[in-house]
Structure 1
Amino acid sequence: MSANLPSPRASATAPDARFCAIDFGTSNSAIALPAAPGQVRLVNVEAGQPTMPTAVFYTMEGQPAHGEPRRLYGRAALSAYVEGVEGRLMRSMKSVLGSSLVEQATDVGGGSSVKFLDIIAGYLRHLKGLAEAEAGGPIHRAVLGRPVFFVDDDPERDAAAQAALAAAARQVGFDEIAFQFEPIAAALDYEATTTHEQLVLVADIGGGTSDFSVVRVGPGRGERLDRSQDLLASHGVHVAGTDFDRHIELAAVLPLAGFKARGPKPGEREVPSKVYFDLATWHLINTVYTPQRVMELRSMKKFYADERLHTRLMTLIDDRLGHAMMAEAEAAKITVAGGQAAHIDLYALERGLSAELSEPHAMAALENDLERIVQAGVETVRMAGVLPDAIEAVYLTGGSTGLAPLAQRIAAPFSRARTVRGDRLASVAQGLGLHAQRVFR
């Protein structure tokens, strides 16, 4: 499988040599600009950092009546939300690519609604502006990263997802666009450190997808634009960090608001669960707050044997705490990934309420996802037509490789390979930048 890379051509609107590479991630994003030949530099996108959360916050505060909502990005967006600024937080926008949601509009406050695709375009416009400020002029050419599969087992929707991302990039002024698979970009970043030819299994475990590639790398191959002969196989699953957050929330937080609760009569079935799955999915949380849905959920009180659980659910909804609860789940996941049990403060739901999350509890909640990811890596090597012993290195990148048990399980089937950790948040951007140099050189 190879990325759809349009041939570079001279552009009337881009007479100079400026170009950039953008890693538009589910959880974090980064931008690379060319430096010396064979080298790139990352743009300091926010507070001196080379990466920023893929987050947009729409706020009416400080805006004239009936005006367009003001947008904050990255850490500023998350801070505004945490500080209780009135508005709408958008995260995991990449997850809607390939779905029917991409052309749908969502309420962002102040009587305004915005298409999801326009939200993505707005975020890309912000990244483009940061790149241009660093480069000292307009940029009209870009390489964009993409997962191996935006959508599992559906080539038509997968192609539609890439087309939608390309449309958003054109909307903000990129005239020449090329795509490269994110794990291939990571392989290019790893290749810069190699001293001999070898086979590497790249594991890019991000926020929305887990992607693997078996790539032949070596110091003599770096200047080749066409690396199709070196890409032995690519494979991936649409399971990653945001799925982990969802399962952690469903396992540790939402049961205290009624998930899997039962009715008042002996042997009665569980209460309807759709609201809990929606509350645990970033881009669906706001659908729970519509007046019709709130009325429906309020009428469900009689379904709960313990009415306190329904009361907490309604507090969560009435106070619009969905994103805050998911942030608590994400923070708990990060704490457990660091080897400690997590204490989850749920005071916002009820005074004195809290939950505990141990590593065994977390791993049990994530087991099915972890196994799917591990098997995707094994399958990638099988697809490459090589034995596990032929893999000399397992190169780990992507934010979710910080979960130590996952990293260990990915590497375990390849006992002769050394495990190499790249920059979890920036390796892909750096590799995309190297690829951009070769595409637009």
Structure 2
Amino acid sequence: MQAKPYCAIDFGTSNSAVALPRGEAMILAPVEGAHTTLPTAVFFNTDEHTRVYGRAALAEYIDGFDGRLMRSLKSILGSSLAETATDLGDGSAIKYTEVIAIFVAFLKRQAEACAGVAIERAVLGRPVFFVDDDAHADALAERQLAAAAQAAGLKEIHFQYEPIAAAFDYESRLSAEALVLVADIGGGTSDFSLVRVGPERMRRIERKDDVLAHHGVHVAGTDFDRRVELDAILPELGYRSLDPEGREVPNRIYFDLATWHLINTVYSGKRVGELALMRHLYRDVRHHERLMRVVERRLGHALAARAEEAKIGVAAGGETSIDLDDVEADLRVAFDDAQLIETGAEETRRIAEAARETVRVAGVAPSSVDALYFTGGSTGLHFLTNALREAFPEARPVFGDRLASVAAGLGIHAQRLFA
């Protein structure tokens, strides 16, 4: 009897992908044109009354269409915000969990278009912890994601930890047994799993005994983006500037502007009116004028995107210039790798400590780790991977596909489970 169709979905904070069976193998489905990964983004275009995803969502937003861009959706799971509604800019509102269901449904449709059949069974990835140090919120987050997947039309759902999935992808290329610490550092979480892998072990469906420990923190790529925006961009709008009496101006507006899912809250008429009345608090009125332009022109998401671009640009080339011309003509901010390392020092420390804690929980000496397997978009930050390599100097560094290793590993698990 032929197995019912199935897929594996990597719903990531920053990027997503889907794996499908093709003969005896698993493949990554094209999810946006020929691309097998896409940014986890939805744009509700209120000008044309359409809904677009991925790169197209980012492009329409940048092109200036009116509407609401939604990113980093996964990061709100388990929070009180997840079940609340958000304004789409045309007088209508939608729950955040419904937006997640819409995005998962899009991934499911792309998988079905590739497979040529309806799909009702899936393995979904999940971080080790959706929410740090809160078991109740973590369990709630998984239930919310399961409910979103069911609303998208998936009837049979299984979860697998994302770093475990990455270990499966690594294992498929090994010729001998090894103890590997998987570092899955994406947009929203940094997850670590210490796993025994090898060609003999991969024959087993139940691998619980091979997972010696897993641990993680809700600190990753978007936290570095936020730091870049706060430390490099928002001071040009008055962040940490002083009032005439020598006190810092109120900073909540700046923290909200630097947090993707809170940016839209600064555009309400009430908040804009309150900000307009704060002009007298700024010693340098140019800071207030720039801030007002940002909220009145709804440039918050554009600033967040500039921070992400600056991080990526510095990681690739050592220095960049952040163009803020839409805030003020000829306004630019220089940014380099030394600044990125300094601004992200606390996040780097917390991520490295989570890796060390994973090995401590397993009761294994750091010197016993054979390999460090890196996956996730934020492993492109060399100072971050270097910090992890310094924590395990005897482990061999191995770099997987930053955006697709988890999806590939989830596909391997789905094949073992369903086929």
**Which of the five TM-score ranges fits, normalised by the shorter chain?**
over 0.9
Deviation readout 1:307-360 (Å, 9 max, x if unpaired)? 110110000100000000011100000011113211001111111111011111
- Which of 403, 408, 412 is residue 381 of structure 2 equivalent to? 403
Alignment of 1:153-172 (within 5 A): 153-172=133-152
Q: Does 1:393 align with 2:345?
A: no
Deviation at 1:223, TM superposition (A): 2.4
Q: Does 1:28 align with 2:15?
A: yes
Q: Distance in 2 between the 1:308 and 1:229 partners?
A: 61
Q: Does 1:117 align with 2:97?
A: yes
Q: Distance in 2 between the 1:99 and 1:231 partners?
A: 28
Deviation at 1:411, TM superposition (A): 1.5
**Counterpart position of 2:35:** 49
- Structure 1 unaligned residues grouped into runs of 5+: 1-9, 64-69
What amino acid is the match of 1:142? A
Deviation at 1:417, TM superposition (A): 1.1
**Counterpart position of 1:344:** 322
CA-based RMSD of the aligned residues comes to 1.1
**Counterpart position of 1:314:** 292
Q: Does 1:138 align with 2:124?
A: no
- Which of 217, 220, 237 is residue 240 of structure 1 equivalent to? 220
Q: Distance in 2 between the 1:239 and 1:254 partners?
A: 21
Counterpart secondary structure, 2:344: helix
Deviation at 1:110, TM superposition (A): 1.9
Q: Distance in 2 between the 1:104 and 1:16 partners?
A: 39
What amino acid is the match of 1:165? L
**Counterpart position of 2:205:** 225
- Structure 2 unaligned residues grouped into runs of 5+: none
How does the TM-score come out when normalised to structure 2? Answer: 0.98
What amino acid is the match of 1:354? R
How does the TM-score come out when normalised to structure 1? Answer: 0.94
Q: Distance in 1 between the 2:145 and 2:47 partners?
A: 30
Q: Distance in 1 between the 2:278 and 2:179 partners?
A: 56
- Which sits farther off after the overlay, 53-62 or 145-154? 53-62
**Counterpart position of 1:417:** 395
Counterpart secondary structure, 1:46: coil
Deviation at 1:236, TM superposition (A): 0.2
**Counterpart position of 2:310:** 332
What amino acid is the match of 1:428? V
**Counterpart position of 1:363:** 341
Contact 1:223 1:438 in 2 (8 A): no
**Counterpart position of 1:178:** 158
Q: Does 1:100 align with 2:80?
A: yes
**Counterpart position of 2:235:** 255
- Which sits farther off after the overlay, 329-338 or 104-113? 104-113
Contact 2:5 2:120 in 1 (8 A): yes
Q: Distance in 2 between the 1:163 and 1:324 partners?
A: 32
Q: Distance in 1 between the 2:186 and 2:47 partners?
A: 33
Deviation readout 1:389-412 (Å, 9 max, x if unpaired)? 111100000000000110111111
What amino acid is the match of 1:113? A
Contact 2:3 2:418 in 1 (8 A): no
The runs of 4+ residues in structure 1 deviating greater than 4 Å are: none
What amino acid is the match of 1:27? S
Contact 2:43 2:53 in 1 (8 A): yes
What amino acid is the match of 2:15? N
Q: Percent identity?
A: 56
What amino acid is the match of 1:335? G
What amino acid is the match of 2:85? A
Q: Distance in 1 between the 2:236 and 2:153 partners?
A: 47
Deviation readout 1:150-194 (Å, 9 max, x if unpaired)? 000000000000000000000111110000000000000000011
Contact 2:72 2:261 in 1 (8 A): yes
Q: Distance in 2 between the 1:62 and 1:114 partners?
A: 18
Deviation at 1:61, TM superposition (A): 2.3
Q: Distance in 1 between the 2:13 and 2:220 partners?
A: 10
Q: Distance in 2 between the 1:115 and 1:58 partners?
A: 13
Q: Distance in 1 between the 2:381 and 2:317 partners?
A: 9
Counterpart secondary structure, 2:384: helix
